[in-house]
Amino acid sequence: MMKVEVTIISKERIKLSSLTLHHLKPYKLTLLDQVTPATSLSDTLNIFYPFSGNIKDNLFIHEFDTGVPFLEARVNCSMSEFLKHLETDSLSLFVPYHAFCKETNTTIGRMAIQLNLFDCGGIAIGLSCSHKVAVATTASIFLHSWAAILGLPLLPEPKPDVCAVTCWLRFFNDIDFGWGKPFWVGIMGKVGPAFRNLIIFSETPWGDGTEAWVTLEEKEMAILENDPEFLACASLNPSISISL
């Protein structure tokens, strides 16, 4: 099994590019919280200046010129190899501090960043931060701001194809109002956009198979209805005959 090794090749502290923006006023903590990345990170810290300071008596953050530890590391494999043989325990090698570690050293920084360089040229950014200055939402905003200042185009909002699948087997076929159980249960008629990309499984009238009620866009439905593999195991819109 491949052993992942992450070697730190450089360490530095990135400070605010302009300390005069905030006049060095202490930042009070709330009761609940008691392709030049280094340069762009420095500019980003002008906005998120509490990340660059030290906590005083667990009450407020000051000394904003302390800076944020910034580490560069090399990984002894390609990113594809790492992901193919992923071991979650090794993820701790990609961040500056271990998760949920005790803050025994007040100088380690409220936030630290590790830039991990794979052999293939891929990059993984590891972020460690104190919950006293940031929650997940704050960290997300910080990283988006850093990317924007760096000048890299942000990825467009993904528009994934979603298909809902639900099973209604034995939901309604056993209901008896006194004149016997239903011979067949219809699921839906003509549907609108709310039922797009939906598959509902129900029982056949004879109990020897499964009906699949499928709603798709016209283009996708035409492909499905002409797919040989699908047609080999399914009958499209079968008729229902009742023996009286």
Instruction: Print pLDDT tens along the chain (244 aa).
Output: 568 888 887 777 777 666 555 454 554 444 333 345 667 777 777 777 777 676 676 666 666 677 788 888 999 998 898 888 888 888 888 988 876 556 555 555 578 888 898 988 888 988 888 777 777 888 888 888 888 877 655 556 667 788 888 888 877 777 778 777 777 777 777 766 667 788 888 887 777 778 888 888 889 889 999 999 988 888 888 777 666 5
Q: Quick one: pLDDT at residue 51? A: 75
Measured over the CA atoms of residue 95, residue 98, residue 100 and residue 102, the dihedral's sign is: negative
Measured CA to CA, the distance from residue 74 to residue 215 in angstroms comes to: 49
Q: Quick one: pLDDT at residue 228? A: 92
Q: Quick one: pLDDT at residue 69? A: 83
Domains and CATH numbers, the chain: 6-150 (3.30.559.10), 164-231 (no CATH)
C-alpha 12, offset from chain centre: 29
129: β partners: 111
Q: Quick one: pLDDT at residue 163? A: 85
Q: Quick one: pLDDT at residue 226? A: 92
Residue 229 — φ and ψ, nearest 5°?
-65, -40
Q: Quick one: pLDDT at residue 108? A: 55
User: Whose structure tokens read 């309604």?
Assistant: 172
Amino acid letter, residue 231: L
Distances (CA, A) of 146 to 26, 67, 87, 151: 23, 15, 29, 9
At 47, is the secondary structure helix, strand, or coil? coil
Under 8 Å between Cβ of 210 and 233: no
Under 8 Å between Cβ of 161 and 149: no
CB crowding 61-96: b at 16 or more within 10 Å, else e: bbebebbbbbbbbebebebebbeeeeeeebeebbbb
Taking Cα atoms as reference points, which of 125, 133, 122 lies closest to residue 38?
125
- Category of 100 on φ-ψ map: left (φ > 0), alpha (ψ -120 to 50) or beta: left
Between strands 123-129 and 111-117, the pairing is antiparallel
Q: Quick one: pLDDT at residue 102? A: 60
Taking Cα atoms as reference points, which of 137, 135, 131 lies closest to residue 110?
131
> Which residues, in sequence order, are CB contacts of 21 under 8 Å at separation 6+?
46, 49
Q: Quick one: pLDDT at residue 244? A: 53
Under 8 Å between Cβ of 74 and 47: no
**Sheet hosting strand 27-28, strand order edge to edge:** 27-28, 60-62, 54-56
Q: How long, in residues, is the chain?
A: 244
